[in-house]
Amino acid sequence: MADRHNAGTEDPHELLLRRHRAVMAPWVPLYYEKPLEIVSGEGCTVTDADGVSYLEFYSGIAVNTLGYRVPEIIRAAEHQLRKGVVHTSTFYLISAQVELAERIAKLSGIPDPVVFFTASGTEAVEAALLVTTEYRQSSQIIALRYGYHGRTFGALGVTGDRNWQGMGLSPLRVAHAHGGERRRGALAGLDDEAFVAACRDDLAELIATGTPSRTAAMLVEAVQGIAGAIPLVPGQLSAYRDVLDAYDIPLIVDEVQSGWGRTGRFWAYQWHDVVPDVLVFAKGVGNGLPLGGIVGRREIMSSLTSPSVSSFGGNHLSTAVASATLDHITAHRLPERAARLGDGLIEGLRSGLAAEPFVSQVRGVGLLLGIEYSRDSTLSPYPEMARRVQQNCRDNGLLVGIGGTHGNCLRLSPPLTVRQDEIHQAVRIIVEATGQARA
Ligand code: PMP
């Protein structure tokens, strides 16, 4: 507290950083040597506390689907705030919630769907684990290697990336199947067809020999976001589905990062010829308002025998804003736009970075992309290079994320409202930043 009184003598930014470090949990990492405080935004541009503007190509970790200062979002939030009710709890009827649930149910593609709202992606993953473990009376989950699903005991247990697992003290039984990162490890070098066959065989073997007689569910991301935007390959999801169907094991698709049009389809699972039994959403649904949830088959969703309440889940404000976000996505055909602009972004990056010796892959779908840096042809990860490029991008006016199991990927997930000229500008900055980082 006393530090605040030094405000007159210490640089305000330094002071804020010192106060942050003193009071915030130490496991919350901050980007950049000189961490950034964003204080305002408009479209895809944000401005920091020193008045410096940046193109924001991460959308607050794929949350700000429509970008910043969106008139429809402001109107929807103001309208609800002026009614004087932000929240009442799910013990009361909430018309905005019911309307949003109806829309999500319809969009889900799941037959006879039921919706449950939460306040975050992690909580939504937990809800999916809860209903499927109850439904199947089993605590065994199969998840994918390299996947990320959140930060609570259950969600961490199913997360296949050790960076986020801590000591791995999860109450669930979890087996991790092959099918994430495919250029390193046991399945390296296989073409798509052989890779899909190997994934199918691995899952079949895991179920037949490595798990108890009942498995609750298989949980996958259609595009592994935190892993650095690794998409499932064509045929992979249906190969899993075939194996699961033989045992009546439900399929949960985690669309927390990939949903809401980001990959060029409304849900990333729609790139595959499969419909999940339970779909998990969050992030982009509320354009920044904390909201997540699951939508799943009624039979599975009806398996809970006790009441289950998320106090914040789907409150008046978040669902009103989510419906306005959905209106905008639909009216402006943002999934199609994401597909088109994403193609241009990936092509621009691939050609601009083609001669860069440390760029080992530019990948992704729609506007969920990753650029991977490796030291050499053995694909030895080069995280220092990724961090230097991220810093150079910032110095040149572009904000991007870092990801990958080895921390060696730049992550791009701009708002779906990004303009073509902003895409060109971002490509130019990333190409220059990579060149500068190598020099
Ligand atoms: N699942 C996936 C695929 C995610 O990317 C994330 C967040 N990065 C989560 C779950 C957890 O969501 P939240 O941070 O809202 O708890």
CATH number assigned to the domain comprising residue 178 = 3.40.640.10
Phi, psi of 279 (to 5 degrees): -120, 135
What is the pLDDT at residue 230? Answer: 97
| Structure tokens, 425 | 């500008």
Does residue 108 lie within any of the structural domains? Answer: yes
- HSE of 291 in the Cβ direction (CA atoms, 13 Å)? 27
Residue 418: CATH number of its domain: 3.90.1150.10
273 CA from centroid of ligand 1 (Å) = 24
Among 306, 331, 356, residue at a domain's last position: 331
Residue that is last in its domain, among 272, 307, 331: 331
Pocket of ligand 1 (CB under 6 A): 61, 120-122, 125, 148-150, 221, 225-226, 254, 256-257, 282
Q: In this predicted model, what pLDDT tens digit does every residue of 169-181 receive, in sequence order? A: 888 999 999 999 8
290 and 156 within one domain: yes
> Ligand 1, atom 15: nearest CA belongs to which residue?
121
Task: Indicate the DSSP class of residue 8.
Answer: G
- Between the CA atoms of 210, 212, 214 and 215, what dihedral angle is there, to the nearest 10 degrees? -50
Q: Distance from the CA of 11 to the center of ligand 1, in angstroms? A: 34
Q: In this structure, are 204 and 267 located in the same domain?
A: yes
| 260 and 393 share one domain | no
Residue 9, domain member (yes or no): no
Instruction: Tell me the two tokens of residue 200.
Output: 């199918």
Kindly give, in sequence order, each residue whose CB lies less than 8 Å from that of residue 116, ignoring residues fewer than 6 positions away: 127, 293, 294, 295, 301, 308, 310, 313
Residue 404 lies in a domain: yes
Domain count, the chain: 2
Alpha-helical segments (H) within 37-191: 59-62, 71-82, 95-108, 121-136, 153-158
User: Do residues 292 and 182 share a domain?
Assistant: yes
Ligand 1 centroid–CA 44 distance in Å is 22
- 205 and 112, same structural domain? yes
Cα 416 to middle of ligand 1, angstroms: 19
Same domain, 78 and 124: yes
Specify if 324 maps to a domain.
yes
Q: pLDDT-derived band of residue 390, with 50, 70 and 90 as boundaries? A: very high
pLDDT digits (tens, 9 = 90+) for 115-141: 999 999 999 999 999 999 999 999 999
Q: Please choose, from the candidates 270, 266, 203, the residue with its C-alpha nearest in 3D space to the C-alpha of residue 232.
A: 270
Q: How far is the CA of 255 from the centre of ligand 1 (A)?
A: 9
d(CA 133, CA 122) in angstroms, rounded, equals 16
Q: What percent of the chain has pLDDT over 90?
A: 93
pLDDT value at residue 5 = 53
Do residues 434 and 414 make contact, with C-beta atoms less than 8 angstroms apart? no
How much is the average pLDDT of 197-220? Answer: 97
Residues with Cβ within 8 Å of residue 311, at least 6 apart in sequence:
89, 90
Q: What's the average model confidence in pLDDT over 366-384?
A: 97
| Confidence (pTM) | 0.96
Least confident among 9-18, 131-140, 199-208 = 9-18
**What is the DSSP secondary-structure string of 241-310?**
HHHHHTTT--EEEE-TTTTTTTTSSSSGGGGTT---SEEEE-GGGGTTS--EEEEEEHHHHTT--S----
- Which residues are within 8 A (CB) of 64 and not within 5 positions of it... i.e. 6 or more apart? 56, 284, 287, 288, 415
Residue nearest to atom 14 of ligand 1 (CA): 121
Whether the CB-CB separation of 155 and 139 falls below 8 Å is answered with: no
d(CA 274, CA 280): 15
Q: What is the full DSSP assignment across 299-317?
A: HHHTT--S----SSTT-HH
Find the domain containing 58 and state its range: 24-70+333-438
257, 280, 285, 312, best to mutate for ligand 1 pocket (most atoms within 8 Å of CB) = 257
- Amino acid at residue number 81: L
Provide the 10 A C-beta neighbour count for residue 292: 28
170 phi and psi angles, rounded to 5 deg: -100, 145
**Quick one: which atom of ligand 1 is closest to the CA of 258?**
3
Return mean pLDDT, the chain. 96
Whole-number Cα distances in Å, 78 to 92, 319, 384: 22, 13, 44
In a domain, 392, yes or no: yes
Domain stop point among 331, 360, 375: 331
